[in-house]
Chain A
């Protein structure tokens, strides 16, 4: 008797999925790793895995339109003579002129200023346009020291010593030749058109003891006026936070692996660092153990998209958040209106991540004057301000529902988790239980 095999649908491997096999073929064809922009694309436990409980018999809510819910935050209250006062706890993260067009930087400054919040320079120095359009500007102090000078230090409102970022803790910057225009090259003291490698370590300090001396130098240069932030990638948040406090930081900025970058290796983005959700509680614990929670402010970044994310980050103990990718989307990045051009680049709106190639149809991650001119900085700034307003209103809506008259009054007890992973990371109970993995309960 002959055996006839019935037809079965083709089955693809979960291990060797389409993206994995495409990457193997790409590597085999080119001999070089994949470079791209953005943050991790893999699914990791995130704020979506948390829910607010809202008010009940034991907690009463605030009236949505009648009772005030404050959103202000002051950063740099520990040592700085001139702390920063922001109207909302959503700041704009560091992104360089070079990685972004001048118009994009101006739009970020305009949007932040309209919203009463701060924006941040990046690995390339401060431009006059950026300073002029940003009421509150944080000046990054990076390993490369591109564009670093005492005049800009003095005209900044705060200084952010960048140790690492979430997309690539332990990695330096990268800006490929297509984006090293004459102006970018001049600001960075580099030959035009080269593939620029930024250092991953600071050139003149190593370790927390040196960092303390470096921070002291920056304070002496600026007469102790400016708040000094220390930014770290999500690697060892408890110890990094504790060491930043020990080194004298006014503010700790903690960036999880969903945080974007202008360009780095895909393998780095996807495999190094921890999810934002996993970073917050250890950092807050470090601040509490040192008696410095709310005295040294904590800014969380990496995948913040909505007022709900803001409220959740603050409920877990952050003082403020920073957005990068979301701000770029708000001003027009990956917008479907450019779909035809994204297709020509072999991608689609929502997936475009070859920011390092400088051919961004939206005119944001480019130095091409024609492409850059597509972005109207006034309109884009307004869009960012609208988005920030919505985020703020959303966060206030949730806070009032939890009975809080300031976003900072949100607390872990207002939250539950949808998954065991999120419960363990955020250290809030799994929904419907009092169980926190690793903490007991049942």
Chain B
């Protein structure tokens, strides 16, 4: 397994090595040591590689990941797995702002807490947070699932589109056009499958509440002006 020590090897070399993986290559497992908060670690992955990062990373770790599996044995800075297309990203610690922003697919698992704007503008990604999330999470979220085992901060799901939000704990406040919705059997089933996929064994889907869009802001209407 190639090991990249970012205290001595330029980040550029590591990311280029990931991008140079050819179809059918055998050596697809990488390890990164001493990431020391570097930004843009393992961005632009375009192959089914696996990356183990031993330490904490800065901004945009695994940005635009398309098919890779990235595990950070530490915490992640802002924008982890931003715009992910497919694959899996696991953060063993906490994640800063904008985790999973605009993600289009794949699975982001945060084993600690996530800060504000988690899942902002998400477009199909699944995000599972073992801890709690900060304010304005799932702002303008378009599709995908955001699952929170802990609590959610202020203005959850503000100006939401069709993303589905599941929170087990308390929600400090809901944003404009976000409402609590009924947990029907199909939601229980889908959430159960997602929890299992994310390796969550200590939470039952029945313990969650579901939130989604009231769809009252989908068309401009002067009577909704006070909603903003």
| Chain A interface main SS type | loop
Least CB separation from B78: chain A residue: A204
A325 to chain B, nearest CB (A): 25
B155 at the interface (CB under 8 A from A): no
Chain B binding surface, main DSSP class: loop
Residues in A neighbouring B39, C-beta threshold 8 A? 213, 216-217
Instruction: Select the stretch in B8-16, B186-194, B202-210 that faces chain A.
Output: B8-16
Contact: A222 with B120, CB < 8 Å? no
Looking at A85-93, A186-194, A418-426, the stretch in contact with chain B turns out to be: A186-194
Tell me if A150 and B85 are in contact (CB < 8 A): yes
Q: Which residues of B contact A194 (CB under 8 A)?
A: 161, 218-219
Is B174 positioned at the interface, with any CB of A under 8 Å from its CB? no
Inter-subunit contact A197/B85 (CB<8 Å): no
* Interface positions of A from 367 to 390, Cβ below 8 Å from B: none
State whether B43 touches A217 (Cβ < 8 A): yes
Q: How far is the CA of A94 from the CA of B205 in the complex (A)?
A: 45
- Which A residues are in CB contact (< 8 Å) with B97? 204
Assess the A32–B64 pair: CB atoms within 8 A. no
Inter-chain contacts of A191 with B (CB < 8 A): 161-162, 218
Count of chain A residues near B, Cβ 8 A: 33
Contact pick for A150, options B16, B40, B44, B162, CB 8 Å: B44
Question: Is A148 an interface position by the 8 A CB rule?
Answer: yes
A221 to B12 Cα, complex, angstroms: 10
Task: Contact check, B162 vs A203: say whether CB atoms are below 8 A apart.
Answer: no
Q: B197: shortest Cβ distance to chain A, in Å?
A: 21
Known: A145-B121, A150-B66. A213 touches B40 (CB 8 A): yes
Q: Contacting A204 at CB < 8 Å: which of B58, B79, B162, B219? A: B79
Q: Residue-by-residue, is B53-73 near A (CB-CB < 8 Å gives 1, otherwise 0)? A: 000001110011010000000
User: Does the CB pair A213–B59 fall under 8 Å?
Assistant: yes
B59, chain A: closest CB distance, angstroms: 5
On B, residues with C-beta under 8 Å from A are: 11-12, 15-16, 19, 39-40, 43-44, 46, 58-60, 63-64, 66, 78-79, 82-83, 85, 97-98, 101-102, 104, 117, 120-121, 123-124, 139-140, 142-143, 159, 161-162, 218-220, 222
Minimum-distance CB pairs A-B, first 5: A221-B44, A204-B79, A31-B222, A204-B98, A189-B123
A-B contact pairs, 14 of them (CB 8 A): A32-B222, A145-B83, A145-B123, A190-B142, A191-B218, A199-B121, A203-B82, A204-B97, A204-B98, A210-B78, A213-B40, A214-B60, A217-B43, A220-B44
